[in-house]
Structure 1
Amino acid sequence: MKKISSIVLALIMLVNLAACGGKNTKSNDPNIGMWNAVSASMLGVTQDIVEVFEKGVSLELKANGKYNLDMDGKKASGKWSYKAGGLSLSGSGLVFTGNVENGILTLTNMLDMGLDLIFEKKGGHPDTVLPSARGDAGYYIVDRAIEDGEKIAGSELRDMGFDYYVLLNEDGTAVCQTDDLATGTWIKGVLSLHNDQGDSATINYTIKGDELTIDWGGLIIIYVLSNGVPPTPTVGTVGAGGLSELQEWWDGDWYGYWEPHSVSEGYEHLDDGRWDVFAKIEINKDDTGVIYLWEDGEDFAKVNITVSEYGLSDKGAAVSESGNYWNGYEIGHADWIIDPGIYNYENYMVIDGRYDDDEGDGFNYVVYLRPWGLLWNDIPEDERPPWYEDWYLDYYNDSDSMLEAIQNSGSYVHSELADTLVIEKPTPSVPSGGVATEKPTPSASSSGPMEASFEMGDFIISATLPGQGWCAKNTAFGYELYQVKSCDDVYSNSPRISINIDPDKKKFDRYSNDFENVQTIKNRTIGGIDMTGRTYKFVGMDWIEYIGMLDSAHAVSVNTSKIDISSGEGSDVIDSIKFQANVATDDVSGERVSSGNVSALLPDGWKVYPVWDLWAEKENTPDKDKLKFNKFAKSEDDQHVTPGLEIRYYGMNSTFIEPGKDRFDEAKDWGPVDIGGRIWKGITGISWESPQALIWTKDGDDEFLVAILLEYGGKKISLQDADVRAILASIKAP
């Protein structure tokens, strides 16, 4: 139809050339006035006029016999005449013909292309005949249907839920019930309809006797005139924002929680966890929309959806169309099908799906949501969000919106909805609604290497482990590097590399009397130390052991069992082992400084800088939970050009979420490392072209995160430096 409109526009310009006058017409001719096109029809297809001509079509018939035609913003003129019901428009040698019948003007077969335009007169036409006078008015119910030559009885259609009808009212209004309920107007043979979602259509029908027939795109339905009482239309109302009742139910803020199920290897740490989530749903008039879903500290998903009334309740259902969730993984059409009618609770929806990373590991996720501002009293306590009692109930009624409540509590907002993202949130140590487990971000790939490090006496032992299938653990028998998926899977005979340091080299021979099949093997250099080698069998396991001297006072043993260290991962791990003298942190001098809620040793040669509280009412208010130290700094500006660290404290009234490796390029896991009696772990990598680290630890109810800039402007610090470790060991809360 668009193609036809362009042809019409091209030729109609020729009509502009004919500006000659015509015979004066009586001013009381009822056809004089402005006519507006309502539909266009071609090849049996009828469409709303704006579907063919976006700006519409109008025809003005003047009393002097001239006409003005405005077609999609293009103007033309000429002369017109009317005789015995026939209408003629002419100009520049072209003629358009039509008729005026029952107050309806039709231009027929325009340009001999079968295009008809149907017009209604502005203000009405005195010859307009009510539908009842035309014999079509009535209530028509479905009688039978024909599809692909197969006949379907009306009773079968109704049993299938197709309780369709057409209601043509005598005042020219119409109601049509199909899968959707639509209302509008009708003239003989044509229905002009629109529904709640803003869709409009012009439908042709035919009448033969008491039967009304409509071809619904290949499904031909025959309706029969009924003497029954038509149902009362229940077309949804439109709210102030132009959305229907159904659309308004979906549109808005939502709050709830999510939990994993069917957890595969690599994500066992998620088992039995539940976490609060927030959602903002934005719905458009055309039923499209988007869901922003996030939890405290990270985005969950952004998904484009379509809503419709096709659900098990009056809330309809939503279907995903496209989008992304954790780590950019795609969500496609119908990956999410959200039907609130499935569940027994009012104003409640559930989203479920499956997350799988690049390694094939993953879990099913289930998200439970209810509109922000509603209580969950009708839902059992163990099915409520973890922070419902101690956070939601404090904030939902005191804020104008969910986003305002989140901001007031200093919490995280989806990255596309807020500029400043803060992860602190008041929460109880043991949420009353469930378990708020500390949850690492699902990693896009678990194949990145991990830096394992541990203090043992006067030395720091470190090694680089493959990111998958290995773990590090300090035991009574030494520092163990296990070739298992998780340290939870470790048994007495698990494959391992054991590292031990002792002042007395003879200690490594204390069980030698029980060794079997002892043999000497070639020396191997490990961590720069030339070590002698031997093999033997002990407690039912075969061992390969290397022994050497770190210095005159410290011997070291590297012992392996059930791991191939001749090549591959086992060999790489052995070759990555390093030994570094551990400078005593007690020898580091300085002064203790405090920000209010956290304090630490400021070593000599370091400078402290304030960290401003971004949420304080007054500018330049120090953040009581943070400390910032820089080494080699002298002036205020030096804090931006020297390596240093920032300490962040998370106590009873805040929640700490472990950072993901996506924070860095070339990211590696670091730790676990015992520093000052606390176990630290973290990640290292490159950000803004500078080596950095994020490490964290837990001490009872207190948690600490330290962000470290390891190198800048040619100056460096490291996680093995005595002053850095002295700072980490000294950190404490009030």
Structure 2
Amino acid sequence: MKRRKLLCMLLAAVMLLGLAACGKGKEEPKDPNLLKVGDYELRYKGACIMEDYAGDDALVLTLDFTNNSEETTNYFWAIYETAMHNGTELDMGIVYLNPETLESVDDSQYLDVEAGGTVEIQTAFELDDTTGEVEVTFEEMEGTENDSITIDLSTVSREPAGGGSASLAGGGKGDGSGGEAGVSGGGTGASSSGELRDWWNGDWYGWWVMTSCYGYYEDMEGEWWDVCGTIDIGEDGMGTVTLWDEDYTESEPMSAAAVSLSESGTGEFGTLMSEGGWFTDIALEHADWIVDPGLMDYQDMIHISGYYENGEDEFTYDIYLRPWGTYWDDMYEEDLPYYYYDWYLPLIESGESMPDSIG
């Protein structure tokens, strides 16, 4: 009897030890602010509402980006982000921290981060209203793993951005040498001419081509794609140019440029000039784009030319655009966009507005 009692006591002790061990092995609850996306980690540090370049509301997120891969990279090339609000995908926002230097909240996304390193980044989304919740999903650029966070806009404070719709007259983006380049006529001409803005504002369609390709792009010499875009210039002469080709969409564009419009130029439509923003994965600065329709051989056409350089990778790009709905009957066959007959003409002949993707 004593042996049986002793055996029962030993079994009970073993069971208690087992339960204790199980308790120690229990996973701790996930930190809701720590997002794991493949080889990368994002720590959500907060959000606020700021005014974008046009004075509209934008949601600005601040995160720590940790690169746990074996190669140096940056947030822009590592992470693909989308934000949903009231069932609608939000467009990316352009929010200036300094309207004179055109420093933007998302400049940090282009900072290279070595393996194991961490950098604080910000990203911005346009808001139609400041109620409800915004779900932001972060996905590997080259992979399928993702994580997300939901932000209750009622808990988000409003902060000044220093940008809004302020004019850039008298200031420009630094040239890297410590000085600032002046903005020739930036933000001063179109404010007095609604007709001038009306010519530029709206939807555009055309094509773009790569030449003088080196490095990674060497085999892409002469390749070209159809491109769509929207231009939006405000009364202060400042605005944006958003472009997307066959591989992009309006909400995830190929380029988003901040621009200024001046009445000065060789023709009646003035000159459009870049002041900031980005093209693919490089930043645009003051006067990287100088667009003067008066130089064109065809009516109602603009030509955007630029130079891409990222390390040893280089190419020159030329973008030709005409207002959506324009017939290109005055041009040679070889100068027409690739989808002109099969996609563009059927849409404009049926009175359709420009879609947010091509093809």
Q: TM range, normalised to the smaller chain?
A: 0.3 to 0.5
Q: Could you state the TM-score of these two structures normalised by the residue count of structure 2?
A: 0.45
Structure showing the higher helix proportion among its residues = 2
**Higher RCO, 1 vs 2 (CA within 8 Å, ≥6 residues apart):** 2
CA radius of gyration, larger in: 1
